[in-house]
């Protein structure tokens, strides 16, 4: 599968001259059924081509862009932490919107921190913590050192576990990641901060929403247009952090 990922990335970076939504892969012989489905879906997905055109590392950038367009999450000068950031598309969006790369003249310059257990290639305007498992206390302590006492305006979590195919188990795994992001956000966020967390549908999602509502003024469930039809994912948008006694 990794070879096919590299194949489609190379094709999108170097050879895509037109919209691929009407194209079909021509060389599927010898590939597994799952690989054929993946390759076909990638070539037919307009967000894959759009990501290439706008220099985003992954189509998921447009989920965060839509959320921001609808709810005005970001502004220049903010401090943002992107949990489970690899390959870095959400980080790229956060950098642009907070001006952490300083490219918008006469605007405040923000700070963006990206952490993931996978490597993350350099992104101008972001502080990268690759090869760091966000759920580990040691990683969060290192992230806290980088924050150096600064409180965070936005915590992002597009984290998801490697799917096992057992829905109840996968749901439990992503719920655990969501709670890790929530706990971290409570510890580092400034008053009125925002938290965005990805979930998959399941029995524990409603309880997570209730628990999150204890710390934030408003909770919204958002399913961006870039979310694939077959996906059960949704995003919890929590705004107006109430603060805690530290």
Domains in the chain with CATH codes: 2-53 (no CATH), 61-241 (3.40.50.150)
116-156 pLDDT per residue, tens: 999 999 999 999 999 999 999 999 999 999 999 999 999 99
Residue 157: pLDDT over 80: yes
Percent of the chain with pLDDT over 90: 68
pLDDT band at 232 (very low <50, low <70, confident <90, very high): confident
Whole-angstrom Cα distance, residue 30 to residue 127? 42
Of 145, 183, 198, 214, the catalytic one is: 198
In sequence order, which residues have a C-beta less than 8 Å from that of residue 157 and are 6 or more positions away? 83, 84, 177, 178, 181, 195, 196, 197, 198
- Average pLDDT on 95-108 reads 97
Whole-angstrom Cα distance, residue 150 to residue 42? 40
The answer to whether 31 is a known catalytic residue is no
């Amino acid at each position: 599968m990794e070879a096919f990922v590299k194949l489609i990335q190379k094709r999108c970076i170097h050879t895509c001259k037109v919209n691929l939504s009407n194209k079909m892969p021509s060389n599927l012989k010898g590939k597994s059924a799952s690989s054929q489905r993946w390759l076909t879906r990638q070539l037919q997905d307009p967000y894959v081509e759009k990501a290439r055109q706008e220099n985003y590392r992954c189509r998921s950038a447009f989920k965060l862009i839509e959320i921001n367009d609808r709810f005005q999450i970001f502004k220049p000068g903010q401090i943002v932490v992107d949990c489970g950031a690899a390959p870095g598309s959400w980080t790229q969006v956060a950098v642009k919107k907070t001006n952490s790369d300083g490219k918008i003249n006469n605007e405040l310059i923000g700070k963006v921190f990206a952490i993931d257990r996978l490597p993350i290639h350099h992104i101008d305007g972001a502080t990268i913590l690759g090869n760091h498992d966000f759920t580990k206390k040691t990683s969060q302590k290192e992230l806290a050192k980088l924050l150096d006492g600064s409180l965070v305006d936005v915590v992002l979590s597009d984290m998801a576990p490697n799917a096992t195919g057992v829905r109840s188990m996968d749901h439990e795994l992503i719920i655990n990641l969501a709670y890790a992001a929530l706990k971290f956000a409570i510890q580092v966020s400034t008053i009125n901060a925002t938290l965005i967390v990805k979930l998959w549908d399941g029995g524990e999602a409603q309880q997570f929403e209730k628990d999150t509502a204890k710390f934030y003024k408003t909770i919204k469930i958002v399913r961006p247009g870039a979310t694939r039809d077959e996906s059960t994912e949704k995003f919890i948008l929590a705004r107006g952090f109430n603060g805690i006694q530290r």
